[in-house]
Chain A
């Protein structure tokens, strides 16, 4: 088994092409995503941003007819190499989805699930991981007295923070957030955004968002996609104040897509 991300996590995507059957979903995408920062993917529906996000922990492997050319290296390791263990990859590259998806288990068991799966059985050690992860996800104070309660009893925003706690419980290097706040109310959204800001000191975060203002508020770099291609990749401040490409300007100004 190849161990991932022994070096600093830095994602290098080189001439990536992805096909869903005959449909060419990603075209010659080349990007270098810096570590310990938030990178946002924006673009109209069907532009390929979620597809690219899913390639980073090989979620597309499960979609029949998917073909990939090019390379993605995380921390210097080629993740599509035949000797990469996908389970280990997903431990190191965690993901949070649009809809909070806690397991129908207790709050404690949700967070302890990943560590247990990876062989940790010591109760004290698990308690520590659960507490640290819930604190990191800024949920501990709200749930510390109810850890045995069902995760499904939490509000949507709390459930999403629980999913983040669950993802970080296995100590990932990269956290992928696929529209992680689009199902949440503004207050919960703000909490997740603040959480992302805190987590970026420890994790490399890549987020897909339809909310351009969220990308502008939260991310350090932004990538604008159109028809499967990268149109512009730059510092978020630059992209939202003075984009280089007219198509980016049209999109972020709401005059396109």
Chain B
């Protein structure tokens, strides 16, 4: 006779919803940070920094809810891994939010000065990472291993773009030492976006662990 565990399943659904909320928040923070960068908009950058506390609160909620489910429902096997994965994913998302905050802080450091070059590859990178963030959460909600593995391939594209941006910025610095200050900031921005992509890939690893009980290394498997 099949039975359901209403209380537990309801708790899992709440965990899913909170993670989706965190994922959406990170996507928006990333989009906003890129808008703030392209417009060197310090107001928008400050808003990103101020809003980050909400993401931290969501992570705390996930920790509390997951702990409650473990204590009261005593899950085992895949049910237990669902909660352990949720903890890990929440931690990754919280860190992704912090990296968006870093980008916002770099924008403030630019003090509204015009950019040394039009932004082309950085927004492309951010777009891929935004998609990865969305897909990573979907792979968790759907327990979709294929989608999780897809993140590794996308992460390779991000890494390649990051390397390309670094080379380009190096050229600009060699061309004119006055570019060094801003080029360094833009390089840090690229590094932070690349790190956000790594965290999305980490989420994919958590999903593969959840479904298969095995721990793949998606960050190095396809690395360039």
Which of A213, A216, A254 has most B Cβ within 10 Å?
A254
Contact B1 A241 (CB under 8 A): no
Q: Which residues of A contact B213 (CB under 8 A)?
A: 241-242
Contact A252 B77 (CB under 8 A): yes
Q: A241-B213, A242-B213 are in contact. Are A212 and B4 (CB under 8 A)?
A: no
| A240-B77 Cα distance, complex, nearest whole Å | 5
B143 touches A (CB below 8 Å): no
Interface string of B1-18 (1 = CB under 8 A from A): 111110010000000000
Q: Which positions in B face A, CB cutoff 8 Å?
A: 1-5, 8, 74-81, 213
Interface string of A221-257 (1 = CB under 8 A from B): 0000000000000000000111100000110111111
List 27 A-B pairs, Cβ < 8 Å.
Answer: A212-B76, A213-B76, A241-B76, A241-B77, A241-B80, A241-B81, A241-B213, A242-B213, A243-B77, A250-B2, A252-B76, A252-B77, A253-B5, A253-B75, A253-B76, A253-B79, A254-B3, A254-B5, A254-B8, A255-B2, A255-B3, A255-B4, A256-B1, A256-B2, A256-B3, A257-B1, A257-B3
Chain B minimum-CB-distance residue to A250: B2
Contact B1 A253 (CB under 8 A): no
| A212-B213 Cα distance, complex, nearest whole Å | 20
Say how far A212's CB is from chain B's closest CB, in angstroms. 7
Q: A241-B213, A242-B213 are in contact. Are A249 and B78 (CB under 8 A)?
A: yes
| A242-B77 Cα distance, complex, nearest whole Å | 5
Q: Which positions in A face B, CB cutoff 8 Å?
A: 212-213, 216, 240-243, 249-250, 252-257
| A243-B79 Cα distance, complex, nearest whole Å | 12
Contact B4 A213 (CB under 8 A): no
Q: A216-B76, A253-B77 are in contact. List 7 more A-B contacts (CB 8 A).
A: A240-B77, A241-B76, A242-B213, A252-B76, A255-B3, A255-B4, A256-B2
Q: Which residues of A contact B4 (CB under 8 A)?
A: 255
Chain A minimum-CB-distance residue to B75: A253
| A96-B5 Cα distance, complex, nearest whole Å | 33
Q: Which residues of A contact B76 (CB under 8 A)?
A: 212-213, 216, 240-241, 252-253
Pick from A213, A249, A256, A257: contact of B77, CB under 8 Å: A249
Q: Which residues of B contact A255 (CB under 8 A)?
A: 2-5
Contact A213 B74 (CB under 8 A): yes
| A212-B79 Cα distance, complex, nearest whole Å | 14
Say how far A248's CB is from chain B's closest CB, in angstroms. 8
| A159-B79 Cα distance, complex, nearest whole Å | 37
Q: Which residues of B contact A253 (CB under 8 A)?
A: 5, 75-79
Chain A minimum-CB-distance residue to B212: A242
| A254-B75 Cα distance, complex, nearest whole Å | 9
Q: Which residues of B contact A256 (CB under 8 A)?
A: 1-3
| A95-B9 Cα distance, complex, nearest whole Å | 39
Say how far A193's CB is from chain B's closest CB, in angstroms. 16
Chain A minimum-CB-distance residue to B4: A255
Closest 7 interchain pairs by CB? A242-B213, A240-B76, A253-B79, A252-B76, A254-B5, A249-B77, A213-B74
Which of B4, B76, B78 has most A Cβ within 10 Å?
B76
Q: Which residues of A contact B78 (CB under 8 A)?
A: 249, 253
Q: Which residues of B contact A212 (CB under 8 A)?
A: 76
| A241-B214 Cα distance, complex, nearest whole Å | 11
Chain A minimum-CB-distance residue to B8: A254
Q: Which residues of A contact B5 (CB under 8 A)?
A: 253-255
Which of A242, A250, A253 has most B Cβ within 10 Å?
A253
